[in-house]
Amino acid sequence: MKFAEHGANVAFTYVSDSSAERATVLEEKLKGFGVKAKAYKSNAGDVQQCETFVNDVLKEFGSVDICVNNAGISKDNLLLRMTPEQWNDVINVNLNSVFYMTKQVIRPMMKAKSGTIINMSSVIGMMGNAGQASYAASKAGIIGFTKSIAKELGSRNIRCNAIAPGFVETDMTSYLNDNAGAEKYLADIPLNRFAKAEDIANVTLFLASDMSSYITGQTISACGD
């Protein structure tokens, strides 16, 4: 919504059939800004689906100028109880997806000698958190990946940055609303509130725009601290 509001054409993905109706509604809302918008059913954790998705977007939109890697899940558990399946699921969706998508979008970006990639990390990837070893590892990996890609592609005028949000009011963190631990988390945030999706969208928009044309390889913490 934030990107469409500022005139960007938007291609976005959803994973499950249960999200199809919601995706269609969002597609129409985006078009209301006078831009081109399309929803694609695609799993960012599947390398073949990523390739198909990017090829379809290129056919429909003609170019990929901005890529926001925002797929993410958490399957929290203490390490002693964490199963290999839980670990692999989180690493695949959170980290492998960034590799799969970036590998596909840099081809047209290199041809155009222009582009920007924004990867959604987390403050948990910077500081760690008990019970979130897999999530922290995946988000820390994104930061290292971002710095490396920025060095690889800077000479092609392609920028790559990361954002490290704190707690954001989304479906993923809705459990905090009924959790006494929410007060503890809030006590550690100087701004004394969780982020709203728009707070993170604003940082993403900045990194996608020419206002950040001399910023690459960086991780911006958006955590109210």
Active-site residues: which are they?
135
CA 141 – CA 54 distance, rounded (Å): 23
Q: Which DSSP string corresponds to 91-160?
A: HIIIIIHHHHHHHHHHHHHHHHT-EEEEEE--THHHH--TT-HHHHHHHHHHHHHHHHHHHHHGGGTEEE
Structure tokens at 191: 């701004």
CA-based nearest residue to 72, from 176, 159, 197, 190: 197
CA distances from 16 to 1, 27, 41, 68, 92 (A): 21, 16, 7, 20, 17
